[in-house]
Amino acid sequence: MRLLVVCLGNICRSPMGEGALRARLDDSPLAGSIEVDSAGTGGWHAGEPADRRAIRCAAGHGVDISGLRARQLRRTDFQAFDWILCADEANLRDARALAPAALRERVVLWLPWAGVDDAREVPDPYTGGPAEFEAAWRLVDRAAQATVERLTRPPALGIIDR
């Protein structure tokens, strides 16, 4: 399985999400079986490392994202990845506009898809400070943990659980 985490510029939320997801997957029964990448709907930062504040925030949680480089979402990503996991509604709208019609159902808001019930979007911390980056980290890490739980859950057997 292949997962792509998407935000606006691929320098804050999506690289933190990629790092958190890789870390959670590495500590799970799924280690080595799921590929993770990230991209941005815009290409302004293509080739650049993640924002230094995102790197510092992730490092504070034991996750190294310093080697990641920003890239823009491409049409080929929709065939290459099983799920396109968007940070917010604007990213979702922009990614779905680029996706072939038959593959749009695989472009989703990451938090609800993963099962994070009390939030829909990961706010963009770019114009904020350390507190905003920490808040974004908490959400992407919860989404990463919930993603692992979703993907390791046994398939439903048709039994209604009340």
Domain architecture of the chain: domains with CATH:
2-152 (3.40.50.2300)
Other C-beta atoms closer than 10 Å to the C-beta of 119 total: 14
| pTM assigned to the model | 0.94
User: Catalytic: 77?
Assistant: no
Confidence of residue 64 (pLDDT cuts 50, 70, 90): very high
User: Catalytic: 7?
Assistant: yes
Average pLDDT, the chain: 95
Q: What pLDDT does residue 154 have?
A: 77
Catalytic residue among 12, 13, 22, 57: 13
Q: What pLDDT does residue 156 have?
A: 55
CA distance readout (Å), 114 to 60, 100, 130: 24, 23, 25
User: What is the per-residue pLDDT across 9-40, written as a single tens digit (0 to 9) for each?
Assistant: 999 999 999 999 999 999 999 999 999 999 99
CA distance readout (Å), 76 to 4, 55, 70, 98: 12, 28, 16, 10
User: What is the per-residue pLDDT across 73-126, written as a single tens digit (0 to 9) for each?
Assistant: 999 999 999 999 999 999 999 999 999 999 999 999 999 999 999 999 999 999
What does the alpha-carbon distance between residue 61 and residue 108 come to, in Å, rounded to a whole number?
26
Catalytic residue among 51, 124, 141, 142: 124
User: Catalytic: 117?
Assistant: no
Q: What pLDDT does residue 162 have?
A: 41
Catalytic residue among 7, 12, 57, 86: 7
Q: What pLDDT does residue 40 have?
A: 98
